[in-house]
Amino acid sequence: MHGGIEAYLLLGGNTGDPPATLLRATELVGERVGEVFARSRDHWTEPQGFDDHRLFLNVALGVRTVLAPEHVLHECLAIEAELGRTRQAGAGLGPRPIDIDLVLYGGLVVEGPSLQVPHPRMAGRRFVLAPLADIAPQAPHPQLGRSVLDLLLSLPILA
C-alpha cells in the first residue's frame, strides 16, 4: 500500500492463548485496517486497574491505513469480537482475550463520544509507551509535543 496515514495500535490480552490471539489479531488488522509495517517485541505486564494472576501480553503495531480513525476503531472492535472479546456496558476493566486500542493516528487529534486520539491515558501508561517506543520512539504526542520515548523515560522508575 502506498500513501495513507501511519497509525499506531496497542494490542493486549491475558486470557486464552495471548500469543496466538495477538498473532491472529495482527493478521486481521493487516487484512482489514491496512499494511502492518512494524510490530514491537512482546511485553508481558501486570494487569492495571484490576487484580488478576494472569499477565497481559502487549504489542504495538504500526499500520499504514487509508481508513478514517472512526473506521479503524470499527474494524478493531469487530476483530476483538471475532476473537472472543465481549464488552458489557459499565463492566469496567477486567481480564480479556484481546483489546485493541487506536493510540495514535498521524498527528491528528480526535475528540469524539466513542473515540479519542491520541489515547487519553497513553502518556502515563508504561504498558502502552514501552511497546510503542520499540517501533516509534520519536513519534510525537500531538497534544503534549513530546516523543513517545520522552514520555516513557519521564515515568517513575519501577521498583
Residues designated as active site: 85, 96, 99, 101
CA–CA separation, 53 and 40 (whole Å): 24
Q: Which amino acid is at 81?
A: A
End-to-end CA distance of the chain: 43
18-32 and 69-82 helices, crossing angle to 10°? 140
Instruction: Show Cβ contacts of residue 4 under 8 Å, excluding neighbours closer than 6 positions.
Output: 34, 35, 64, 65, 66
